[in-house]
Amino acid sequence: MSHNLTYNLAWKKAIIYSSIFLLVSLFIYAAYNKLAIYSTFVEQLNESPITKNYRNILAWLVPGTEILLAIALLVPKTRLLGFYGSFFLMLLFTIYVFVVPHFYSTRIPCSCGGIISSFSWKGHFYFNLAFTLLAAIGLVLHSHQLQTDNAVMKKIAQ
């Protein structure tokens, strides 16, 4: 039984840390690309009917949020907040890449930057959906790990 428990904990931690690595990599990559081509990023935000009225604030808010979430995921004390934020940000991105081609136009450029901007809207949707699920899995497993750690600490304190 102890071996199985250790094995399960090892797998959960591996999944949590893999989720952190992939999300941090995505957010840093995406933020860097948006900031590296800042004027193009603002132009692309302006071409979308959903973002054009908010382009100036989104041009800083989106990459800034991505950087903050990457940091939050790396710091153990803020990791849970980082997972929540990652899930909700990826969910918003996923909804956006679903809504634009279905209710507006497939000719609107993606403002993602880097290799991600070369994806089709459908490919981008599935990519974002995968990262949304990854954030959700990391969130659930990390929350469970925190609850388990708290229960163990309470037993030790007794």
Read off the pLDDT of each residue in 81-92 and give the average, rounded to a whole number: 98
- Residue 129: phi and psi, rounded to 5, are -60, -40
pLDDT at 139 over 90: yes
Dihedral angle, C-alpha 24, 28, 31, 36, nearest 10 ° = -170
Q: Which of 27, 38, 7, 45 is nearest to 86 (CA)?
A: 27
**Whether 55 contacts 46, CB under 8 Å:** yes
pLDDT at 111: 74
Q: How confident is the model at residue 33 (pLDDT cuts 50, 70, 90)?
A: very high
pLDDT at 1: 47
Read off the pLDDT of each residue in 38-61 and give the average, rounded to a whole number: 94
Read off the pLDDT of each residue in 113-141 and give the average, rounded to a whole number: 92
pTM, entire model: 0.88
Question: Which stretches of the chain are DSSP H helices?
Answer: 2-36, 38-47, 55-74, 79-99, 121-157
pLDDT at 5: 64
Q: How confident is the model at residue 3 (pLDDT cuts 50, 70, 90)?
A: low
Read off the pLDDT of each residue in 49-66 and give the average, rounded to a whole number: 96
- Give the Cα separation of 142 and 148 in Å (integer): 10
Read off the pLDDT of each residue in 121-139 and give the average, rounded to a whole number: 96
Read off the pLDDT of each residue in 98-122 and give the average, rounded to a whole number: 83
- Give the Cα separation of 93 and 123 in Å (integer): 13
pLDDT at 108: 79
